[in-house]
Every structure is written in structure tokens, then in C-alpha cells.
Amino acid sequence: MATIVPFKAVRPVRDKAYLVSSMPAYIYPKHILEAKLESNPYTFLHVINPEFRTDNKTQPNSIERFQHVRDKFDEFANAGVFTQDEKESYYIYRQITPTNTYLGLITGIAVDDYLNGNIKVHEHTLTQREETFKTYLDVCQFNAEPVLLTYQDNPMVDEIINKYISKRSEYEFCTTHHIKQDLWLVNNDVDIKTLTSAFANINDIYIADGHHRSSSSVLYAQSKRQENPNYNPKDKFNYFLCFLIAESKLNIIEYNRTVSSLHDHTPDSFLEKMNEVFDIETQDTIYTPTKKHNFSMYLAGKWYSLTAKKGTYNEDDIVGNLDARILTKNVLTPILGITDVKTDNRLEFMEGTKGAEGLQQKVDSEEAVVAFGLYPVSIEQLKAVADENDIMPPKSTWIEPKMRSGLTIYSLKD
């Protein structure tokens, strides 16, 4: 079962929601981040970057920096930019992009679901990043960016959501990226009980995006429990902020690769080695993979279709059967000499949203020598890896929606 809880969100007042909400700060290149901070006094980026245009600088990720974040958050609240709901609610959130519609629930979810395995993971987390965000939570006492979780479609949940989206939303605005945002409040007691009961009957929840945020929230809760063994199970630290989206509405996009060196190969000798593990077909135009175990490759101004030969991967190995692992095992390591995909600076990862055109541009600009396009991982593959308590190769998926910060903030204070 999954234990979700309604909460009293701290959120922008209605007329400033479109100004406050932002993508996470790390998404923006430095010059764009500075431009947004300069031009918009209401953006949540000011909370995350409280020292912009000040002389009072502190070390990144320090307790002092996080205290400034909290101070800026309080400044926004005192200025009337934020308000807090008087009643605990669930929040229905919708993104409409030029190509997709994403729809789901923003809730609190129990850290115990993570600890007992009801929330399943498919990525390793780094201890240092976990500790950093745990410290952030301890000092700032709020969480503004939901973890993206997915679950098997549930008719009861869909019925409640569909009832609300037929009404006018609390927030309705469009971003400069042509993404329409809507938010509805679910504060009716009967509907809250129905949604809570529905998720109580869902056994498996999967992390789609936000492994570090969820694990850090668990670490924070464990530390609070150690401080007070007689803690109240309803204490806010026992839950973390999440966005629950049904599997059918999740969009898993490929994560592609570019390499800046052919190691000791020429393009011709590289193709000869590739022919040992792939069936290769030259393409007349730009090419995108069409099925599992089919790859695209752009090399020396030409596109190729690569299909992994039988025997070059193990169909019975859940992780070994993933295309990212096949490419590493058969090409990146043995042919190109890349033994650690996390640290080798010849290898770069490119989100699939940039398409085959992005891969071609990378090579044509001579920033890379060869580019590989992968077929997207399916939700069934992701779940199979998580169900086996296994880990996917680094950068196997680019998953949407990408959540905005500052729309519904989960306060850890009473």
C-alpha cells in the first residue's frame, strides 16, 4: 500500500503564480539564470539564489547559504508573495506541452513507503548529494520541488481527477517554453478520503525522477526520528513532496550519447569493428531508432542504422538487455576504450528532446566525432529493473514532465 497525505501548501498568490514558478535553478545556463533574476523580482529563483546582487556571499551548499535561502523564503511570505492554504489538500497539476499532456496529483507520501520497498528505485544515489539536500531540508524547512513518482493507472483516481479538471483551475498560465500550467485544489473531505483509499490499495510506486531528493528526505526523517524516538507518526518530516502520475501519462524519452574521440581508430576501421556486433545499414537521411536494440549512428557526415546482432546481449538479463548497457558493453568500452561512463570526459550524454538533429549538430560542429541515438526505455523495462532491486545504467532515461519549483511548497514547520 502507498500512504499519501494532503498538506497545507505554501504557494504563490494567484496573480503572481506565473511569475513565481520556475524550473529548478540548475537547469538554466548562467547567463539565462542571471537574466531571469534581473528581470523578475518574484521568481522563485531568488529564493534559491538569495545572494544575487549582494556582497554577503557564502559558500555554496553551506549551512550559511541555506539560512539565506530560508530568510529569502520568509521575505517572500512576509511580502505577500506566498500564502498558505488553511485546509489540508491534494493538488491536481497539469502541464500541456506542444506534444503531450501530463496530469497527476501533488501530495505528501510516507518515507516508510520508501523504506519498506513500496516506492521502488532504479538509480544509485551519491552520498554527498544526499547529505547536502538533507542539510538543506534541516535548515530551510521546506521542499519546493516534487519527486516524480509513477503508478499503474487507477480508475478511481482518474474519476476524481477528471471531475476537477472540468472546472476552472486555481492557476492557469503559460510559460515562455509554450507549456500551459494548471492547478486545482482538492479539499473536499470525501474526495480526499477516496484518493487516500485508492493509493492505499496500490502496492508499487516507482520513482521516475528525483532519486536524490527522495533518499535525502528519508535521511532527514531518520535523523529526526533518532532525535526523538517517541515521534508522532503524523509529524511532517515523515512525508515528502511528490507528484504522482499514472504510467500511461508518463513520457520516457531516450538519452543519447556523443563521443569526442575514436580512440585509435579511423572512421573506416571503426566501422569494421562495429560490423562485428551490429548489422549496419547506411541511411540517405537523418535516422532515428525504430525499435529496441536498434541504434542510430552519425559518423563522418553519414547516418547509419545499427541493429545489435544476436549473441551480443543476454535476453534473460534485465539490465544487460537494456540498450544503454549493450552500447557500453559492445562499443564504448571494447572499441572506444571508455571504461567508466560516469567519468570519461570523451563521453557526453544528450537528452532525447534535442532529437537526431542535436546529435548531428554536435558532430558537424566538431565537438564530437561520433553520435549514437538510442531507442527509449519502456515503462515495463524500468519497472522490471526496479522490481529486481537492480540499477539502470547512468543516463538511461530522460523522463517528462519536468516539474516546476515554487508552485506547491511542502513546509516542514508546524
Average of per-residue pLDDT across 14-22: 97
Average of per-residue pLDDT across 213-227: 97
Give the confidence band of 177 by pLDDT, cuts at 50, 70, 90.
confident
Q: Looking at the structure, tell me whether residues 243 and 116 fall in a common domain.
A: yes
Q: Looking at the structure, tell me whether residues 191 and 292 fall in a common domain.
A: no
Q: Looking at the structure, tell me whether residues 228 and 257 fall in a common domain.
A: no
What are the tens digits of pLDDT across the range 129-154?
999 999 999 999 999 999 999 999 99
Q: Looking at the structure, tell me whether residues 332 and 354 fall in a common domain.
A: yes
Per-residue pLDDT at 26: 86
Q: Is the pLDDT of residue 280 over 90?
A: yes
Are residues 122 and 388 in contact, defined by beta-carbon separation less than 8 angstroms? no
Q: Is the pLDDT of residue 124 over 90?
A: no
Q: Is the pLDDT of residue 19 over 80?
A: yes
Q: Looking at the structure, tell me whether residues 227 and 149 fall in a common domain.
A: yes
Strand ranges (DSSP E) for 180-229? 180-186, 205-209
Q: How many domains does the chain have?
A: 2
Per-residue pLDDT at 56: 85
Average of per-residue pLDDT across 274-280: 98
Average of per-residue pLDDT across 366-389: 97
Q: Is the pLDDT of residue 324 over 80?
A: yes
Are residues 5 and 110 in contact, defined by beta-carbon separation less than 8 angstroms? yes
DSSP strand pairing (397-400 vs 347-351): unpaired
Q: Which residue has the cell 528519508?
A: 218
Cell numbers found for residue 233: 507518526
Measuring CA to CA, how many Å separate 34 from each of 17, 31, 38, 54, 150?
20, 5, 6, 13, 34
DSSP strand pairing (251-259 vs 397-400): antiparallel
Q: Is the pLDDT of residue 74 over 80?
A: yes
Q: Is 35 helix (H, G, I), strand (E, B) or coil?
A: helix
Residue 183: beta bridge partners? 93, 171
**CA-to-CA distance for 327 and 350, rounded, in angstroms?**
15
Q: Looking at the structure, tell me whether residues 64 and 81 fall in a common domain.
A: yes
Per-residue pLDDT at 11: 98
Q: Which residue has the cell 546482432?
A: 309
Are residues 89 and 8 in contact, defined by beta-carbon separation less than 8 angstroms? yes
Average of per-residue pLDDT across 197-204: 96
Q: Which helix (H) or strand (E) holds 191?
A: helix 189-200
Furthest-apart CA atoms within the chain: distance in Å? 69
**DSSP string over 82-137:** EEE-SS-BEEEEEEE-SS-EEEEEEEEEEHHHHHTTSEE--S---HHHHHHHHHHH
Average of per-residue pLDDT across 307-334: 96
Q: Looking at the structure, tell me whether residues 220 and 262 fall in a common domain.
A: no
Question: Whose CA is closest to 105, among 160, 143, 155?
Answer: 160
Per-residue pLDDT at 344: 95
Question: Whose CA is closest to 146, among 210, 84, 96?
Answer: 210
Q: Is 53 helix (H, G, I), strand (E, B) or coil?
A: coil
Q: Looking at the structure, tell me whether residues 34 and 45 fall in a common domain.
A: yes
Q: Looking at the structure, tell me whether residues 216 and 324 fall in a common domain.
A: no
CATH number at residue 329: 3.30.1760.10
**CA-to-CA distance for 406 and 414, rounded, in angstroms?**
19
State the angle between helix axes of 155-165 and 189-200 in degrees (0 to 180), rounded to the nearest 10.
Answer: 150
Q: Looking at the structure, tell me whether residues 141 and 256 fall in a common domain.
A: no
Q: Looking at the structure, tell me whether residues 186 and 279 fall in a common domain.
A: no
Strand ranges (DSSP E) for 133-250? 142-143, 147-151, 171-174, 180-186, 205-209, 239-246
Per-residue pLDDT at 1: 83
Are residues 115 and 372 in contact, defined by beta-carbon separation less than 8 angstroms? no
Q: Is 297 helix (H, G, I), strand (E, B) or coil?
A: strand
Q: How many helices, marked H, and strands, marked E, lie in the chain? A: 13, 20
Per-residue pLDDT at 126: 82
User: What's the burial of 178, exposed, middle or buried (CB within 10 Å: 0-12/13-18/19+)?
Assistant: exposed
**CA-to-CA distance for 286 and 347, rounded, in angstroms?**
22
Per-residue pLDDT at 295: 98
**CA-to-CA distance for 138 and 398, rounded, in angstroms?**
30
Q: Which range of residues forms the domain containing residue 369? A: 252-399
Give the confidence band of 27 by pLDDT, cuts at 50, 70, 90.
confident
Q: Is the pLDDT of residue 311 over 90?
A: yes
Average of per-residue pLDDT across 271-288: 97
Mean pLDDT estimate for the chain: 96
Q: Looking at the structure, tell me whether residues 238 and 272 fall in a common domain.
A: no
